[in-house]
A = this chain, B = another copy of it.
Amino acid sequence: MTHAEHIPSGPPASLDQARQLAAALLSERGEASGALIARQLQQTMRVLDADGRHGFQRYLASAFQPDAAALQDAATRYLADSTAAAAAALADAADPPRQEVLRRMNMAPGGTASLIAMRSEIAGRLGSEPELKLLDADLKHLFVSWFNRGFLELRRIDWQSPAAVLEKLIAYEAVHEIKGWDDLRRRLAPDRRCFAFFHPALPGEPLIFVEVALVQGLATAVPPLLVQDADQDSAGLRAAHADTAIFYSISNCQDGLRGVSFGNFLIKQVVEELQTEFPQLKRFSTLSPIPGFRRWLVQQPQSGGNEVAMLRELDREGWWHDAATCETWRPVLMRLCAQYLTRSPASGNRVDPVVRFHLGNGARLERINWLGNTADRAMAESFGIMVNYLYDHDSIERNHEAFARVGEIVRSPQVDALL
């Protein structure tokens, strides 16, 4: 059913009103009464249904183009004489009024949240309606500027945090599902830390959060990190004796902010916070999934019947409970996994997104862990194998450059030994 069939008599009153208010925002009226009009528009948008919002998004994407004559003029001048001033004049002429109308919409209370919701909503239609891409790009341009690291606030989240914030952790946790409030409480125990970035315009809304376990030695498997343990005092003791911080989960919360990167900043500031609170910590590492391993493996031209047989066996539910199966395939899978993780992007390989993220941040591939996580998703993605990425302060820049410039997958001798 198309929009036209649904509402045959044209756009409903509120969509019409939203359009008029958006136009007014950029007009003379908008200069005198911008904040007021932005508020009215905000209220009008709130009563739009999905079709109305869709219509309004298309309107925003198409109605606020730069002045073509002026832009052509500036382009011509720049081509005639490519000075810095001409470039600046051209940038000025090209700056889309779409961005200005979005900036003015942001003036209303709740404006930022509603722009983020808009970008989230159009995400699914970018393929079928390419004209929305301009709106998407403008929103992203503004969000990159507004959600600059300098405007973010790192806050610890613990059992003293408002329930309204905590329930968002439960909702947004993307890596290891939080199974209700008791599970959440364990993740906020004295030997755990959770930190999130917040933005002043979205007061109770975490943008991204990371969960950290304070342990002794490198944690190589997930279950011990998630196990319930109600004893606060012994958890406090464990924290006091920990030498390693394990970042075992990092989750983005706002789909509308996709492409605005927070993760790198978050990990690095949390390392600093933890080092201050626990000077005895010696090691900062993740325990991370390998989302692309199985997909890659099944797409490989299989060298022999051996691997075909293996893949068939590993399709069986609960194969990992069988010691013989494990013994047989573990060395094969571990080697293949090490190969997968260390393929150089320079050779045109698609690097696993988690590798790309952490090595791009300057971490190194530290350890590959057999059956590090037997939860369904991890079994499906990577046969339960998990990876530690190590954040070592002194080699972060070097690692990053090696990865970024020549595509080197910086790794420990332990990983090399698997190859």
Known: A32-B400, A33-B396, A151-B201. A96 touches B103 (CB 8 A): no
Contact (Cβ within 8 A) B360 A31? yes
The verdict on A112 contacting chain B, using a C-beta distance below 8 Å, is: yes
Q: How far is the CB of A32 from chain B (nearest CB, A)?
A: 3
For A360, list chain B residues within 8 Å (CB). 31-32
Q: Which of B91, B185, B200 contacts A200 (CB 8 A)?
A: B200
Which chain A residues (358-376) contact chain B, with CB distance < 8 Å?
360-362
- Complex alpha-carbon distance, A87 and B137, angstroms: 13
Contact (Cβ within 8 A) A362 B32? yes
Closest B residue to A153 by beta carbon equals B200
Contact with B along A102-134 (1 / 0, CB 8 A): 010011110110000000000000000001011
The verdict on A50 contacting chain B, using a C-beta distance below 8 Å, is: no
- Complex alpha-carbon distance, A201 and B94, angstroms: 29
Q: Which of B62, B87, B142, B149 contacts A35 (CB 8 A)?
A: B149
Which chain A residues (6-55) contact chain B, with CB distance < 8 Å?
28-29, 31-36, 38
Which chain A residues (235-279) contact chain B, with CB distance < 8 Å?
264-265, 268-269
Contact with B along A73-100 (1 / 0, CB 8 A): 0011011001011011011101110000
Q: Which of B36, B90, B264, B269 contacts A71 (CB 8 A)?
A: B90
Comparing A159-167, A286-294, A295-303, the segment that makes contact with chain B is A159-167
Q: How far is the CB of A139 from chain B (nearest CB, A)?
A: 13
The verdict on A150 contacting chain B, using a C-beta distance below 8 Å, is: yes
For A161, list chain B residues within 8 Å (CB). 162-163
Q: Which of B79, B111, B269, B362 contacts A150 (CB 8 A)?
A: B111
Size bin of chain A's contact surface:
35 or more
The verdict on A65 contacting chain B, using a C-beta distance below 8 Å, is: yes
Contact (Cβ within 8 A) A84 B160? no
Closest B residue to A62 by beta carbon equals B84
The verdict on A181 contacting chain B, using a C-beta distance below 8 Å, is: yes
Known: A29-B400, A35-B149. A90 touches B75 (CB 8 A): yes
Known: A94-B94, A145-B142, A145-B146. A88 touches B137 (CB 8 A): yes
Q: How far is the CB of A205 from chain B (nearest CB, A)?
A: 13
The verdict on A397 contacting chain B, using a C-beta distance below 8 Å, is: yes
Closest B residue to A108 by beta carbon equals B150
For A381, list chain B residues within 8 Å (CB). none
The verdict on A318 contacting chain B, using a C-beta distance below 8 Å, is: no
Closest B residue to A95 by beta carbon equals B91
Contact (Cβ within 8 A) A72 B79? yes
The verdict on A316 contacting chain B, using a C-beta distance below 8 Å, is: no
Contact (Cβ within 8 A) B95 A66? no
The verdict on A331 contacting chain B, using a C-beta distance below 8 Å, is: no
Besides A33-B362, A161-B163, 8 new A-B residue pairs in contact (Cβ under 8 A), listed by A number: A31-B400, A62-B84, A71-B87, A79-B79, A88-B96, A107-B149, A145-B145, A151-B151
5 tightest Cβ-Cβ pairs between the two chains A and B:
A32-B400, A91-B94, A107-B149, A200-B200, A75-B75
